[in-house]
């Protein structure tokens, strides 16, 4: 009786909702019902070829599903590494650069002997460049740091070791940190470049940036005379060592600006003592400006104050 009832119910389901079984087929070889939508090809090579065909046809969503199926079904195959690489490419195509970076990192971490590693590192570097250049104003839904460039370039350096992108990525890491006003960390990144890659073409630029970081620190809310002096000396050393470098004119402008800042600070000290009627101390500061900063506007102002002090003596 039970068997008859079951057959009747099963027949009614088949008649009323055949779409529920439309995707299932019987495979005599495995002795199982299989859904072609979730099944994988007999070999990882065939599965990869099918997924890459979809990718090249720009059917990214479908391609992503096929690559993920391959990774799940054949996790230890060479094609699994290739699939992980393509998941990064798919995220890039979808406008999700940070997720793409993470996908490439998973490839590097999980499949370190893949022949796709170098290309993945190059693509990570390119993604970092997009964030530094401002082409990517934000990131997609997945959480990322205040500027993903810090994480990305740090990983590129780590992944590259002494590879062709390592020194350049180390320099870019410093640039990102400097752009975030994390000057001490930026200096550390630039110093590391100079120490680790002394023959790198980026060493002169790193030397310039260290001076720029020192100058930025000196411009903080608390005036740091030591930082200003060090920045000026570093810029001067850069100009002396690399007189024909592209950055040398900028270095000279920074030197002039820092000199002006020093002169202003000394002049203001003189004004402070003058207002306190401690005229001899004020005179010392004004004379310092006139002697050591002759090309600045503060030298002219100091001469004017010295003349006023002379009149007060009479």
Tokens of 40: 């994988």
From CA 30, how far away is CA 24, in angstroms rounded? 14
Under 8 Å CB-to-CB from 65, ≥6 apart: which residues? none
Among 148, 146, 144, 170, which residue's Cα sits nearest to residue 157?
Answer: 170
Maximum C-alpha span of the chain? 130
Backbone φ, ψ for residue 279 (5° rounding): -65, -35
Integer distance in angstroms from the first to the last C-alpha of the chain? 130
Give CA separation, 195 vs 151, 156, 170, 172, in Å.
21, 18, 11, 16
Q: Cα angle at 140 between 139 and 146, to 5 degrees?
A: 30
Interstrand relation of 32-34 and 25-27 (parallel, antiparallel or unpaired)? antiparallel
Half-sphere exposure at residue 278, Cβ-oriented, CA atoms within 13 angstroms? 10
Under 8 Å CB-to-CB from 114, ≥6 apart: which residues? 78, 81, 82, 85, 107
The per-residue pLDDT for range 176-189, each reduced to its tens digit, is: 999 999 999 999 99
What percent of the chain has a predicted confidence (pLDDT) above 70? 82
The per-residue pLDDT for range 102-112, each reduced to its tens digit, is: 999 999 999 99
Q: Residue 241 CA to chain centroid, in angstroms?
A: 29
The residue with greater pLDDT, 123 or 163, is: 123
The whole-chain average pLDDT of the chain stands at 84
Q: Mapping DSSP to helix (H, G, I), strand (E, B) and coil, where does residue 32 land?
A: strand
| pLDDT reading at 210 higher than 80 | yes
Mean pLDDT of 113-127: 96
Radius of gyration (Cα) for the chain, nearest Å?
33
From CA 211, how far away is CA 225, in angstroms rounded? 14
The per-residue pLDDT for range 9-52, each reduced to its tens digit, is: 444 444 454 444 445 554 555 555 445 666 789 999 999 999 99
Tokens of 81: 């590494």
Mean pLDDT of 152-175: 94
Contacts within 8 Å (CB) and 24+ apart, 61-70:
63/90, 64/90, 69/38, 69/40, 70/40, 70/44
pLDDT interval class at 143 (50, 70, 90): very low
pLDDT interval class at 217 (50, 70, 90): confident
Among 63, 71, 133, 117, which residue's Cα sits nearest to residue 93?
Answer: 63
pLDDT interval class at 141 (50, 70, 90): very low
From CA 171, how far away is CA 128, in angstroms rounded? 12
Q: Looking at residue 21, what is its pLDDT?
A: 46
From CA 108, how far away is CA 119, in angstroms rounded? 10
Give CA separation, 277 vs 4, 114, 303, 309, 310, in Å.
115, 77, 18, 10, 13
From CA 229, how far away is CA 201, in angstroms rounded? 27
Q: Looking at residue 20, what is its pLDDT?
A: 45
The per-residue pLDDT for range 221-247, each reduced to its tens digit, is: 555 677 888 888 888 888 888 887 778
From CA 16, how far away is CA 129, in angstroms rounded? 57
| 137-141, 150-154, 194-198, 302-306: segment of lowest average pLDDT | 137-141
Half-sphere exposure at residue 110, Cβ-oriented, CA atoms within 13 angstroms? 18
Give CA separation, 5 vs 1, 13, 145, in Å.
6, 12, 61
Is the pTM value of this prediction over 0.85? Answer: no
The per-residue pLDDT for range 250-267, each reduced to its tens digit, is: 888 888 888 888 888 888
């Amino acid at each position: 009786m039970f068997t008859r009832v079951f057959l009747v119910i099963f027949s009614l389901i088949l008649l009323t909702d055949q779409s529920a079984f439309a995707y299932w087929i019987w495979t005599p070889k495995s002795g199982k019902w299989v859904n072609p939508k979730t099944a994988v090809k007999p070999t990882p090579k065939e599965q990869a070829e099918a997924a890459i065909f979809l990718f090249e046809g720009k059917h990214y969503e479908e391609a992503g599903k096929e690559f993920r199926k391959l990774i799940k079904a054949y996790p230890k195959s060479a094609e699994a590494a290739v699939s992980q690489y393509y998941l990064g490419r798919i995220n890039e195509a979808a406008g999700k650069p940070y997720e793409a970076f993470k996908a490439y990192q998973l490839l590097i971490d999980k499949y370190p002997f893949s022949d796709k590693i170098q290309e993945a590192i190059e693509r990570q570097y390119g993604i970092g460049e997009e964030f530094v250049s401002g082409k990517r104003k934000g990131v997609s839904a997945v959480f990322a740091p205040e500027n993903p460039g810090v994480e990305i370039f740090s990983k590129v350096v780590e992944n590259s070791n002494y590879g062709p992108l390592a020194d350049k990525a180390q320099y870019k890491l410093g640039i990102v940190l400097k752009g975030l006003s994390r000057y001490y960390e930026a200096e550390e990144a630039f110093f590391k470049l100079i120490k680790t890659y002394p023959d790198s073409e980026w060493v002169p630029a790193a030397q310039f940036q260290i001076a720029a970081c020192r100058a930025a620190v000196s411009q903080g809310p608390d005036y740091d005379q030591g930082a200003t002096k060090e920045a000026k000396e570093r810029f001067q050393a850069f100009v002396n060592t690399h007189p024909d470098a592209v950055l040398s004119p900028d270095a000279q402008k920074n030197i002039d600006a820092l000199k002006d800042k020093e002169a202003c600070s000394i002049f203001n000290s003189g004004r402070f003592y003058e207002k306190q009627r401690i005229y001899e101390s004020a005179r010392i500061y004004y004379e310092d400006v006139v002697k050591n900063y002759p090309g600045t506007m503060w030298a002219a102002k100091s001469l004017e104050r010295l003349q006023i002090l002379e009149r007060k003596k009479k």
